[in-house]
Amino acid sequence: MQIGAIYDGERCRFTVWAPERSQVELELVSPEAKRLPLQPHERGYWQTEVKGLAADSQYFYHIDGGDGRPDPASRFQPEGVHGPSQVVDHSQYDWQDEGWQGIPLQDYIVYELHIGAFTPEGSFDAVIPRLGDLLDLGITAVEIMPVAQFPGERNWGYDGVLPFAVQNSYGGPAGLKRLVDACHQAGLAVIMDVVYNHFGPEGNYTGLYGPYVTDKYQTPWGSAINFDDAYSTGVRNYVIQNVLCWFQDYHIDALRLDAIHAIYDFGAKHLLLELSDAVQAFAETRQSPAYLIAESDLNDARIIRSPKKGGYGIDAQWSDDFHHAMHTLLTGERTGYYADFGSCEALALAIKERFVYAWKYSSFRQRYHGSDAGDLPSNQFVVCVQNHDQVGNRMMGDRLTHLVSFEALKLAAGALLLSPYIPMLFMGEEYGEESPFLYFVDHGDPDLIAAVRQGRKEEFKDFHATGEPPDAASEKTLKQSTLQWDKRGQGQQGTLYAFYQRLIELRKQLAIATPSRPEDIEVDFDEASQTVQYLRQLPQGQLLCLMNFGKSAAKITFTTNLSWQKQIDSAAPEWDGPGSEAPETLSQTAVSISPRSVVLYATVKT
């Protein structure tokens, strides 16, 4: 059952799910005012059809004689979350991406950005002139933080309340289409971040229509969405239709499913499996693939295993363990969930085995955690050294730039981009952006703003943060978080940018994205010298990656009867390094590498 206002050029069919309601009325508020009753259909759906309606008509629904409210499946909210919904004729946009065939998931090099903070203008259209710079860097996929309609003009996007409606302050549906179209014409895939674990608190009128949420389960953000309780069929259809909307109406290439560990479903067919089935069926109707990528802290391989092996069939998932292992080695932080990490062994495990915690005891959780994912290929895992959560959920929005040295930034970049997994960069990371990325909202309810401020304080308890977080409700907080893009070519920021470029170039030249399994990688580590090394088999030859997280030079020994050629060395003068300890060619079984550095060798072909 398609929901929302579906316009075909001649007529508009209005369909809304409102079980256990006795009356649903459509109020057209522009271009002419009129009210029409909807007729009940099976399983709680109500429907009516209007001929000769203008494509940009605005409307409300009245439930059981109540006040006019937006359509839960509204495609556009020109006046925000409390205003009328607007009909959108998706056929009016003239797409120019007919030749787009997508790119394989293994070739994704992801760049996560926030529309409001990526440019001073904070719009979809303002991103387009910068796509050339992302291509120059070597990026292949742009990941957009959530743009489903949220209250006000600024928000991270995870407080969205109307999942089908594209944020009005960013440019609405037409602006998003122009951005996606431009990305595809430039050869860039687009990932959209979507949220199906909760609704935001302001402008959420779904409770007037039906049981969209359940008190059976609680998420960190309130009641969970109802995926397995009474009437959950209508809620599941709502989410499935939303997923297909992004792929069909906006030509999105992949969806990043936010915090799927907070999607509670104990039915015989999990929602994730139903989503996977629906997306696979849709993908057969177009020439480019459609992917689902799960953000999860469960370390549960079942999420991405095929349904034939008892899995949910999601294409890829995040491995937070990689980030945590890297971050603790670089910063020395051990508070909160970082208490489970901090060793070279942890990073070695993350590189080889996908997860550090694969049914292993977690002192932070005080229980066993995770499952073995060693049978799954590397291109089903997304890793990063920075992202919006890990930066923005620090009280002062500290990036790695604020926490570690220039040499450590290059080491982090090398560990990320030379890994066997799908790498994701957070906007500005590539040149060491100095602006923080802070949490910001634009709620209209003073009580809600007060609750946000208190919630931020509570969130930092595990990290023993002191002082006051920046005011999330202030426009200044967003401005502080906006990229200083013009600095990316200056001094060490320019050098770091060039270093990222070269790493991405090597990743492509050496086919590092080739899917691999743990048996293709040999890892070793030394806690005393703070070194990690791994040897990787590839069809084109072998790679030897050496990393020194210590503060002094370290000698690394290994077994080899091959000749190796150095590909990149972060300590080299060309990268503003202190000077390299590693030779250009390598045939011996020991090499000294500089502190806080990464060196990559490849076998010399004869």
- The catalytic residues are 258, 295
CA gap 483, 153 in Å, rounded: 18
Q: How far is CA 550 from CA 213, 292, 503, 529, 600, in A?
A: 49, 38, 22, 6, 17
- Residues sharing a CB contact under 8 Å with residue 321, sequence separation 6 or more, in sequence order: 299, 341, 346, 349, 350, 354, 355, 356, 357
- 324 known ligand binder: yes
Mark residue 192 as left, alpha or beta (left: phi above 0; alpha: psi -120 to 50; beta: remaining).
beta
Q: Please measure the distance between the N-terminal and C-terminal CA atoms of the chain and give it in whole angstroms.
A: 62
Tokens read off for 259: 């915090």
- 152 known ligand binder: no
- 323 known ligand binder: yes
- 259 known ligand binder: yes
Contact 226, 232 (CB under 8 A): yes
- 258 known ligand binder: yes
- 398 known ligand binder: no
- 473 known ligand binder: no
Place of tokens 């139903």: 274
- 82 known ligand binder: no
- Residues sharing a CB contact under 8 Å with residue 171, sequence separation 6 or more, in sequence order: 123, 124, 125, 178
- 443 known ligand binder: no
CA gap 142, 574 in Å, rounded: 29
Q: Is 400 helix (H, G, I), strand (E, B) or coil?
A: helix
Q: Which of 489, 494, 510 is nearest to 568 (CA)?
A: 510
CB atoms near residue 106 (< 10 Å): 17
Contact 312, 296 (CB under 8 A): no
Q: Which of 26, 78, 87 is nearest to 53 (CA)?
A: 87
Residue environment code for 246-275, b if the CB has 16+ CB neighbours within 10 A, otherwise e: bbebbbbbbbbbbbbebbbbeeeebbbbbb
CA angle (228 as vertex; 223, 232 as ends), nearest 5: 90
- 94 known ligand binder: no
Phi, psi for 424 (deg, rounded to 5)? -125, 130
- Residues sharing a CB contact under 8 Å with residue 63, sequence separation 6 or more, in sequence order: 18, 21, 23, 24, 69, 208, 209
Contact 402, 432 (CB under 8 A): no
Contact 162, 149 (CB under 8 A): yes
- 181 known ligand binder: no
- 270 known ligand binder: no
Contact 73, 45 (CB under 8 A): no
Q: Where are the alpha helices (DSSP H) in 251-343?
A: 271-283, 320-331
- 260 known ligand binder: yes
**Per the annotation, where are the binding residues?**
256-261, 320-324, 388-393
**Per the annotation, where are the binding residues for substrate?**
256-261, 320-324, 388-393
